[in-house]
Structure 1
Amino acid sequence: MNKFKVMALLGALSMAGCGGGGSTAPAAPATPKSATISGSIAGLSANSTLLLVNSNAETIAVKATTSFKFANPVAAGTPYSVTLFANPNGNDCKVANGAGTVAQDGGDISNVAVTCQPAAIGLLKYNVGVTVSGLAAGGSVSFADAQGNILKASANGLSVFAQSYSPLAVPGANYNVTVSFNPTGQTCTLANNAGTNDTTPSFTNFINVTATCK
């Protein structure tokens, strides 16, 4: 074997030992598909707040608008269900196209439609919610109203007391929300947590208390 053939053979063996330069990096894992849930609102009274719930996992409050959008995306292949937490005072609202399952490709859902009309009987009822921010992952905080009802929040965002209140009833005219249990290692401070909701034109069907946890 001459010198040139030996050198060529050694070069080929060297390239083979290094993988021949043909290796490729492993493919990055695919990003999980998800979809946002949104829709339209028609006929809602200008001074009314609409409370919408998605699959008992997220609640939003919308006012003086013709559209809505939930902040938390829904994973592909997962069901969603948009419902009313309660009818706003003086309104009778219905939800169309509110339930389904997110496609595997994660396409956004935007055809949910909420239609409101004046209620036959305009009962003076209102709800009280707490919008939490700063809550550490895995933590929870509990709130109490003036009647001793408890609301527990395990995530940031809006949570609403299950009970509705009436300014025509003595216990319902005044609202007063307090922190009954702080998260472990944190303290939550409330704002807009006490006041009077009476039958004057300033009546509102939703009181939004804020809780900042640190």
Structure 2
Amino acid sequence: MKAIPVRTAAAAALLLALSACGGKASFDVGGVFVNSQGVSQPLANSGLVLKNGSDTLPVAVGSTSFKFNNSISYGTAYEISVQTPPNHMNCTVANGSGSAGHTQTITASVICSQNTYKIGGTVSGITGDTVVTLINGSLGGSVTLNKDSTSYAFAAEVADGQAYGVTVAQVEPAGALKCVVANPSGVMSNAPRTDINVTCSAP
């Protein structure tokens, strides 16, 4: 009987051991982009970078899902987070951490929304019992001003990139004052607007 070389026998034994034990399962780490109601929503802006430990992933505009390049093995902890938010947006991660398991699918949800900012300005010239009501035509909502008002801001914030338009809806008593709004309209950028000033005077 021909003898089997020692190295060949050792290699065969190793293969048998690996076969008996089975390989370690690997898991993709990824997820989907959704809105606050959990409905699929493509990523609207560029610049997003996600991370899982030291593994980073730039995500393209229009993406509805993502997957990290590196998979992880059974029992390995993962924690998906936002390393760099998209331009003009804020993102949060839901179901983004845990430990990989045999029956567990790693599917995080990333919720991104446009940054929002307040709009308003200064107030001058309101006298007596006169009440002035402003509206923002793009969002609705109103602000009521009186003689004690020196500044104002709408409660509803405006999303970055959205149009706004502030007008005088009512002066009560009618005709008591003439009120003018400076810088009344525009497109929201990445900072609050505090120069939509209201000046009132006798008609």
TM bucket, shorter chain: 0.3 to 0.5
TM-score, length-scaled by structure 2: 0.47
Q: Which has the larger radius of gyration?
A: 2
TM-score, length-scaled by structure 1: 0.45
